[in-house]
A = this chain, B = another copy of it.
Amino acid sequence: MVVVDELGGTYEEGFEDVHRNLMNYFTLKACRTVLTQLYEMNPPSYRWFYNFVASNNPQDGKYFLRALGKERQELAERVMITRLHLYGKWIKKCDHAMMYQKISDENLELMRERLMETVIWPSDDTNTNTEKIG
């Protein structure tokens, strides 16, 4: 399990890992976009690329693109151009305040959920969660 290997060390200081994660994610997103385009325009290439993506992990972006370049350089270039293009589009839409709010909202939602599960409701005489004294 990859996650476990990465648990050591102090991570508070920097955000280099966040940037690496974003680059890898945009590489994956670019692969999806190229796949969608190939599906419509070039079914044989779609099948080839689909299998390649399935057997090589695009979430390690650089490694993936290097491997792809050795087999189909034109596809590697297309994914590279697409990831840069997608990132450029995202810059314009990225709203940090909205994202901050979303994380805050999800935190509250989870706390509320947990509260509802643990709260002891006042007794009632119907079916669920009934408490009776004596």
Check B23–A7 contact: CB distance below 8 A: no
Residues of chain B lying within 8 A (CB to CB) of residue A96: 91, 94
Residues of chain B lying within 8 A (CB to CB) of residue A91: 96, 100
A19-57 with Cβ < 8 A to chain B: 19, 21-23, 25-26, 28-29, 31-33, 35-36, 50, 53-54, 57
A-B contact pairs, 25 of them (CB 8 A): A3-B54, A9-B36, A11-B32, A12-B33, A12-B86, A15-B89, A15-B90, A15-B93, A18-B26, A19-B99, A22-B22, A22-B99, A23-B102, A26-B103, A61-B106, A66-B110, A69-B110, A70-B117, A73-B118, A80-B110, A83-B107, A84-B100, A84-B103, A91-B96, A94-B96
Q: Which residues of A are interface residues toward B (Cβ below 8 A)? A: 1, 3-4, 6-7, 9-12, 15, 17-19, 21-23, 25-26, 28-29, 31-33, 35-36, 50, 53-54, 57-59, 61-62, 65-66, 69-70, 73, 76-77, 80-81, 83-84, 86-91, 93-94, 96, 99-100, 102-104, 106-107, 110-111, 113-114, 117-118
